[in-house]
């Protein structure tokens, strides 16, 4: 069985929610109509979209999808117009005291921003979530790079993963920390990481992890997130369409401009 998993999905309050969900399905289908598609929400501390979709509060989603609650952390969304489906996974993005981002995947329990990175990872594990140290441009240099390496020494490959993103453009070398971590058995998960800028909804699913689950492993969609860190490293690969350096630079500039305007 093959899974396509976008492990870093933001749906900001001003997004058209149904557009983001449809983009996840369309972008992650690729050339494989039979792959199972999962989008992992990484919500801010003040956003609760997963709960709102699950309770039927988002009318635009109700009009486009049949919603099935599979368990506490996963929804199955089936398109009315064509039967294509997406599994939506609950999760959060946490900003640590050291200003790095930790993703808490497959959990509805919330962890406060501002804890130390190590305490954040421990809290995510205690909430039965999957902690992912998210890469971002410039975030893993100097002292924060040392911090990431210390986390990889403190926690095992069965406890924590590293996160790649569409903000690493085509042609940009894989960061050294990622390369050495993968050699040590840590999984590298990739997600689209849409920015809080109008139009970024369509980026959802543009890059994702292609996960091959062998026949010996009985792994249904409701189980995949809990089994992800036991799947061989070689069975998890990046897929999708990385963007050009110019496109990524334009995205970051648009985000910077939007942030500046919001402060005035």
State the pLDDT at residue 262. Answer: 67
| Ranges of H-type helices in the chain | 17-29, 49-54, 59-64, 117-126, 142-154, 176-183, 221-227, 245-262
- Check residue 218 and give its pLDDT: 58
Q: Domain containing 191: what range? A: 2-262
Which H or E run includes 41?
A: strand 36-41
Containing H/E element for 189? strand 188-191
| pLDDT block averages, 10 residues each, the chain of length 264 | 96 95 93 88 95 97 96 96 92 97 97 98 98 94 95 98 97 95 98 95 97 74 93 96 96 88 64
pLDDT of residue 208: 97
Each residue of 216-248: pLDDT tens digit?
555 788 999 999 999 999 999 999 999 999 999
What CATH number did the domain enclosing 105 receive? 3.20.20.140
Q: Where are the alpha helices (DSSP H) in 35-141?
A: 49-54, 59-64, 117-126
* Distance, CA of 5 to CA of 224 (rounded, Å): 10
Comparing CA positions, the residue from 74, 107, 103 lying closest to residue 187 is 103
> Model's pTM, two decimal places?
0.95
Collect all residues with Cβ–Cβ distance below 8 Å to 100 and sequence separation of at least 6: 117, 133, 134, 139, 140, 144, 147, 148
- How many CA atoms, within 13 angstroms, populate the side-chain half-sphere of residue 150? 12
35: Cα within 13 Å, side-chain hemisphere: 23
Whole-number pLDDT of residue 219 = 75
Q: What is the spatial distance between Cα 9 and Cα 204, in angstroms, rounded to a whole number?
A: 7
- What is the total count of domains within the chain? 1
């Amino acid at each position: 069985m093959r899974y396509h998993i976008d492990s870093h999905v933001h749906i900001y309050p001003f997004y058209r929610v149904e557009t983001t969900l449809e983009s996840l399905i369309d972008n992650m289908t690729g050339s494989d109509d039979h792959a199972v598609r999962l989008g992992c929400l990484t919500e801010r501390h003040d956003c609760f979209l997963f709960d709102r979709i699950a309770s039927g509060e988002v009318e635009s989603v109700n009009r486009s999808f049949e919603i099935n609650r599979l368990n506490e952390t996963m929804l199955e969304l089936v398109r009315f117009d064509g039967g294509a489906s997406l599994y939506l996974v609950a999760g959060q993005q946490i900003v640590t005291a050291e200003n790095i981002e930790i993703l808490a995947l497959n959990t509805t329990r919330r962890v406060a921003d501002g804890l130390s990175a190590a305490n954040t990872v421990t809290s995510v594990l205690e909430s039965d979530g999957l902690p992912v140290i998210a890469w971002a441009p410039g975030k893993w240099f100097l002292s924060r790079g040392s911090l990431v390496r210390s986390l990889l020494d403190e926690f095992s490959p069965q406890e924590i993963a590293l996160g790649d993103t569409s903000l690493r453009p085509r042609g940009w070398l894989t960061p050294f920390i990622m390369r050495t971590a993968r050699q040590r058995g840590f999984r590298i998960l990739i997600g689209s990481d849409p920015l809080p800028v109008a139009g970024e909804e369509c980026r959802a699913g543009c890059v994702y992890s292609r996960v091959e689950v062998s026949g010996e492993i009985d792994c249904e969609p409701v189980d995949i997130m809990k089994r992800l860190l036991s799947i061989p490293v070689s069975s998890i690969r990046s897929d999708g369409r990385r963007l050009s350096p110019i496109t990524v630079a334009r995205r970051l500039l648009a985000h910077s401009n939007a942030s500046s305007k919001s402060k005035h």
